[in-house]
A and B are shown apart, each in its own frame.
Chain A
Amino acid sequence: MTMLKTLAPYEFKSSDAVENYKGRQLLYVNWERHRMFSRPFVLALPPETPFSEIVDRHMSECFSYHPDWQQIDWNTVIWQNGDQPFSPDRDKSLKDNGIGHKDLIRFRTPGLDGIAGTGY
């Protein structure tokens, strides 16, 4: 229950409601144990965007600076949506993969733990 106390009615919209994105939705992506990237990155994309575009274009542009990127065996990658296990279909859209507004996609690459195994 809210603990907010106010002197007057207090009704404000969320700054990041999906309707503010004109047909697109926010998506966050994090590569676990590769904290050279400091934090997840955010994109605004139409829900029809194929998942393959996230991997081949956006993740590749960001993460290929890391020497582990070339070593990834994509068959062993473990995906999560938030804290839930998740098996994305590359050829399906975000929407058909069940990815909603402000979802956080996390992926683990077993055996690849960053520079010298530091998690970075």
Chain B
Amino acid sequence: MDMKVAKKLGLKERYSLMTRDLAWDTTFQKMADVFPQTTYEGIKIHDWDKWEDPFRLTMDAYWKYQSEKERKLYAILDGFNQNNGHLSVTDARYINVLKLFLGSTPPLELMAARGFSMMGRQMNGAGPRVACQMQAVDEYRHFQTQIHSISNYNKYYNGMDEFAHQQSRMWYLSDGKSFFDDAITAGPFEFMVAIGFAFEYVLTNILFVPFISGAAYNGDMAAMTVGFSAQSDEARHMTLGLECIKFMLEQDPDNLPIVQRWIDKWTWRGTRKLASVGMMMDYMLPKRIMSFKEAWEMYVEDNGGALFKDLARYGITIPKCFAQTVEEKEHVSHQSWIGFYMKPGATPFHTWIPTPDEMDWLSEKYPNTFDRYYRPVLEYLDAQEKAGNRYNNKTQPMNCQVCVSTMKFNEPGDSMEMCFRESVYRGEKFHTCSDHCKEIFDNEPEKYVQTFISSHQALQGNCEPDGVDVDAPDYRPGARMLDYWRLDERATGDFNGSDDQKNFAVWREQATKN
């Protein structure tokens, strides 16, 4: 008798059995009570089965792929660390990119993991639920691998050990924290537009330029490999975000104005978040890849422009802020760097004035703005530093109520003027940095009146290390801010004269000479 061999399941059948087939409609409780989050934002979904699963990835395949990637990644990290790979980077200034990245990015990956875990529970279609669960695991993996790749540097260089404590406290990390807090406290569909679409699809390539390519150009194999290991996940995330947008728009015409407002809002919030990424590219990488302006043109104007052309058939128009982002690409990286340079005592990474040949590079890349606005002040500050009068501003900043950036951007169309916008809500003034942030505030003031602004909280006496009596007669708010931040003083100040600079030179000498 012939052996009966069960037919091997096709990809589609396997996918169906391991995702949609595992879902069921509740009967003891109404579906609307189990999944209240998918209706309250006003998005109308008529048929969850219309959700197309772009990857048809099942959990068993997912674990297999991811574990292979992890094995390769950790083999390279081990090799890099054992061979003192940190001494092969271009120069010690590069390590400050990692410090800024460590504080600002892995904690946000963790927030993304939390957000997608919530989406995995809140969405009532099995297709998106499974995709969101996988993305949650991806984000957690990115959070861990980024920290692991940088942890080796922590053995040798200052300013990396308190990033987790600093995340919700440091003034310059508030913009990213606010971005994710805003997204995660929105409903599931807005979260998907915020993170899945605006951030992952429209803007994530810009973030990866300094991290992956920047690491490669500057000899950091560890960070580069982490980036590559994350990139195939990112492709899946981008597809999920775009799929969600199309699904919402196809389900009901009433969804269009809501989705458009979210696209406008989150493209702008993402743009503001990327000002410091521009600064990494133009000022902090010793060996530059491309200018922030060039990256913006390639990834946002060209690629993003094509994407919005594609979405035009659903009635989506290009985000309102687009023209302003095009104007600002010539300015924001310079404005950000000056903003950080003036506060050498308030960050766990170093700042410096670019060398003369680096300034020439900036002139070439920014022919319309660098020599006209930024070179003279950088040269002035350089001369001051050399004369022993390094710029060190002791004041506390004014921040935007929505994006929590310091108020440092210029009025559109006039690079000499600062841009200020103001709203009054329940008798109180609220300041924003732009028309777009003002509109976000005015649409949902109840939400943004709660914004945590570090300088304001310090002035209220809420930013003190343990044991400080805020009611004592001689109490001065903010006097012990460094202790509150757990800021290692060795990590502060100008790069010139820093421990990192000296140690790197000594160790490289030992590694290459007799």
Q: Does A15 contact B (CB under 8 A)?
A: yes
B398 touches A28 (CB 8 A): yes
A42 touches B459 (CB 8 A): yes
Instruction: Quote the shortest CB–CB distance from B379 to chain A (angstroms).
Output: 8
Q: Does A56 contact B (CB under 8 A)?
A: no
B373 touches A2 (CB 8 A): no
B410 neighbours in A (Cβ, 8 Å): 35
Q: Does B24 contact A (CB under 8 A)?
A: no
A14 touches B450 (CB 8 A): yes
B431 neighbours in A (Cβ, 8 Å): 28, 102, 104
| CB-based nearest B residue for A117 | B376
A38 touches B428 (CB 8 A): no
B416 touches A33 (CB 8 A): yes
A62 touches B417 (CB 8 A): no
| CB-based nearest B residue for A40 | B398
Contacts A5-B42, A104-B420 given; indicate if A39 touches B428 (C-beta within 8 A). no
| Measured CA separation A120–B89 after assembly (Å) | 34
A119 touches B416 (CB 8 A): yes
B394 neighbours in A (Cβ, 8 Å): 61-62
A103 neighbours in B (Cβ, 8 Å): 429
Residues of B135-152 contacting chain A, CB below 8 A = none
B446 neighbours in A (Cβ, 8 Å): 2, 4, 10-12
Instruction: Quote the shortest CB–CB distance from A10 to chain B (angstroms).
Output: 6
A32 touches B417 (CB 8 A): yes
Query: What 1/0 mask marks residues of chain A from 21 to 51 whose CB sits below 8 Å from any chain B CB?
Result: 1101010101011011111111110000000
Contacts A39-B397, A61-B394, A65-B391 given; indicate if A7 touches B37 (C-beta within 8 A). yes
B430 neighbours in A (Cβ, 8 Å): 102
B354 neighbours in A (Cβ, 8 Å): none
Contacts A35-B338, A115-B380 given; indicate if A16 touches B456 (C-beta within 8 A). yes
A42 touches B460 (CB 8 A): no
Contacts A7-B40, A15-B452 given; indicate if A113 touches B416 (C-beta within 8 A). yes
Instruction: Quote the shortest CB–CB distance from A53 to chain B (angstroms).
Output: 15
**From DSSP, what is the main secondary structure of chain A's interface residues?**
loop
| Measured CA separation A12–B185 after assembly (Å) | 14
Q: How many residues of A contact B (CB 8 A)?
A: 52
Q: Does A77 contact B (CB under 8 A)?
A: no
**From DSSP, what is the main secondary structure of chain B's interface residues?**
mixed
Interface size band for B: 35 or more
Task: Find B339's partner among A32, A38, A83 (CB 8 Å cutoff).
Answer: A38
A2 touches B443 (CB 8 A): yes
Query: What 1/0 mask marks residues of chain B from 415 to 444 whose CB sits below 8 Å from any chain A CB?
Result: 111101010011011110000000000011
A36 neighbours in B (Cβ, 8 Å): 338, 342, 377, 380-381, 391
Q: Does B305 contact A (CB under 8 A)?
A: no
Q: Does A76 contact B (CB under 8 A)?
A: no
Q: Does B85 contact A (CB under 8 A)?
A: no
B418 touches A35 (CB 8 A): yes
Q: Does B393 contact A (CB under 8 A)?
A: yes
B396 touches A42 (CB 8 A): yes
| CB-based nearest A residue for B460 | A20
Contacts A15-B452, A115-B380, A118-B373 given; indicate if A38 touches B416 (C-beta within 8 A). no
A-B contact pairs, 30 of them (CB 8 A): A2-B443, A4-B446, A5-B40, A7-B36, A10-B446, A15-B449, A20-B460, A21-B460, A33-B417, A35-B408, A36-B377, A37-B342, A37-B395, A38-B338, A38-B397, A39-B398, A39-B418, A40-B398, A41-B395, A42-B395, A42-B397, A83-B422, A102-B428, A103-B429, A104-B420, A104-B422, A115-B376, A115-B380, A118-B374, A118-B416
| Residue ranges of A at the interface with B (Cβ–Cβ < 8 Å) | 2-7, 10-18, 20-22, 24, 26, 28, 30, 32-33, 35-44, 61-62, 65, 82-83, 100-104, 106, 113-116, 118-120
| Residue ranges of B at the interface with A (Cβ–Cβ < 8 Å) | 36-37, 40-42, 187, 261, 335, 338-339, 342, 372-374, 376-377, 380-381, 391, 393-399, 406-408, 410, 415-418, 420, 422, 425-426, 428-431, 443-447, 449-453, 455-457, 459-461, 477
Q: A15-B451, A22-B460, A39-B339 are in contact. List 17 more A-B contacts (CB 8 A).
A: A7-B40, A13-B449, A14-B428, A16-B428, A20-B460, A35-B335, A39-B408, A40-B397, A41-B398, A42-B397, A42-B398, A42-B459, A61-B394, A104-B398, A113-B416, A118-B377, A119-B416
In the A-B complex, the 4 residue pairs with the closest CB atoms: A41-B395, A119-B416, A120-B377, A44-B459
